[in-house]
Amino acid sequence: MNITILDANTFGRASLTGFKALGTVNVFANTTADQIVDRAREAQVIVTNKVVLNHAILAQLPDLKLICVAATGTNNIDLVAAKSLGIAVCNVAGYSTPSVVQHTFTLLGNLMTNMHAYIADCNNGLWQQSDMFCRLDHTIQEINNKTLLIIGHGALGQAVAQVATAFGAHVLVAERKGASTVRSGRIAFEEGLRRADIITLHCPLNDETRDLIDHTEFKLMKPSALLINTARGGVVNETALKEALENNTIAGAGVDVLSKEPAQPDNPLLSYSGHNLLLTPHTAWASQESIERLLNEIVENIQAFFGQHARNRIV
């Protein structure tokens, strides 16, 4: 078979050997919209992470039988068009859960221990100037006995809950915002925000969750609260977050995702210079092991499709 990988750079340095065992593989580091048709004209299989495949493009690829999305979300694929053209679509779910959970607590741990500030102090020679064996310039807190609110209780949220419980946190699970009833084992959205010492987001981005955390929600939070977002950038209004940090409405935030990526110069969080914001470049998912799981799953998706077995099929 003929396989075209459109944005291999999103796999880092991982080996693509598994694909090469399936047939001819055309690998491109990145692909722009006007390059797709020429590069994939003879492809039976396209592998894409973020490259957008719309109806106009898919209609020009008569040999295409399968699109493998190298991610869980499929918003970059016109699924209606794919179905109408007889093109199957597969995704991969769950591959990054351990990596995202680890990153969530890395951000949280750094915020609670002020690790980044202490490392900077050491690099700047302040420990050498200390009049005692240590330095205690920055507050250090424990996760133990803190109330941690999880927004989004799928596989990721549940895995975060397990680790939080191991740390000794009191875990709350938020009901959907605006819900008329509260399910058993959950807490009303607004009440959860009021009670939480830590809020961590693990929900998808859709019409219901866009700007889920905005000015109103920040005003409900404790001044000592910490917010962690390893979900999607658009779930948090970034202007509102910057103002909340500047005005000490909340104590801090750890953010791995932005509303537009790669980061844009005019993003309000990039101009914020306070010590209480940790920003990472959408790397929560990207452990070496996570990427290897992702690639192995895609290879299995391709093998299953051509073996006439349904596996991770979206269309």
Residue 152 Rama label (left phi>0; alpha psi -120 to 50; beta): left
Specify whether 145 is located in the same domain as 266: yes
> What CATH number has the domain bearing residue 29?
3.40.50.720
pTM for the model stands at 0.93
Q: Is the pLDDT of residue 73 over 90?
A: no
* Alpha-carbon distance values, 134 to 95, 123, 125, 127 (Å): 41, 14, 13, 7
Q: Which own/partner pairs from 69-76 qualify as long-range (CB within 8 Å, at least 24 positions apart)?
A: 69/314, 70/7, 70/10, 70/11, 70/294, 70/295, 70/298, 71/294, 73/204, 74/314, 76/48, 76/50, 76/51, 76/52
Q: Is residue 313 assigned to a domain?
A: no
Which entry of 170, 186, 282, 313 is annotated as an active-site residue? 282
Query: Is 289 one of the catalytic residues?
Result: no
Specify whether 144 is located in the same domain as 244: yes
Specify whether 35 is located in the same domain as 104: no
Q: Is residue 112 assigned to a domain?
A: yes
pLDDT (tens digit, 9 = 90+) per residue, 150-171?
999 999 999 999 999 999 999 9
Specify whether 86 is located in the same domain as 50: yes
Bridge partners, 53 (sequence order): 77
Sequence-separated (6 or more) residues with CB below 8 Å from residue 148: 164, 169, 170, 171, 172, 196, 197, 198, 199, 200
Q: Is residue 315 assigned to a domain?
A: no
Q: Is residue 312 assigned to a domain?
A: no
Specify whether 117 is located in the same domain as 227: yes
Task: Determine the average pLDDT of the residues in 59-65.
Answer: 98
Which entry of 232, 238, 293, 297 is annotated as an active-site residue? 232
Query: Residue 129 CB: number of other CB atoms within 10 A?
Result: 9
Give yes or no for a contact between 196 and 151, defined as CB atoms under 8 angstroms apart.
no
Q: Which two tokens stand for residue 259?
A: 């509303």
Structural domain count of the chain = 2
Backbone angles phi, psi at 159, to 5 degrees: -65, -40
Predicted local distance difference test score (pLDDT) of residue 182: 97
Which entry of 208, 261, 309, 311 is annotated as an active-site residue? 261
pLDDT (tens digit, 9 = 90+) per residue, 8-57?
999 999 999 999 999 999 999 999 999 999 999 999 999 999 999 999 99
Query: Is 261 one of the catalytic residues?
Result: yes
Q: Is the pLDDT of residue 225 over 90?
A: yes
Q: Is residue 124 assigned to a domain?
A: yes
Predicted local distance difference test score (pLDDT) of residue 192: 98
Q: Is residue 293 assigned to a domain?
A: yes
Range of the domain at 244: 97-279
Predicted local distance difference test score (pLDDT) of residue 116: 95
Query: Residue 149 CB: number of other CB atoms within 10 A?
Result: 27
Query: Is 202 one of the catalytic residues?
Result: no
Bridge partners, 2 (sequence order): 24
Is the peptide bond between 262 and the residue preceding it cis, with omega within 30 degrees of 0? yes
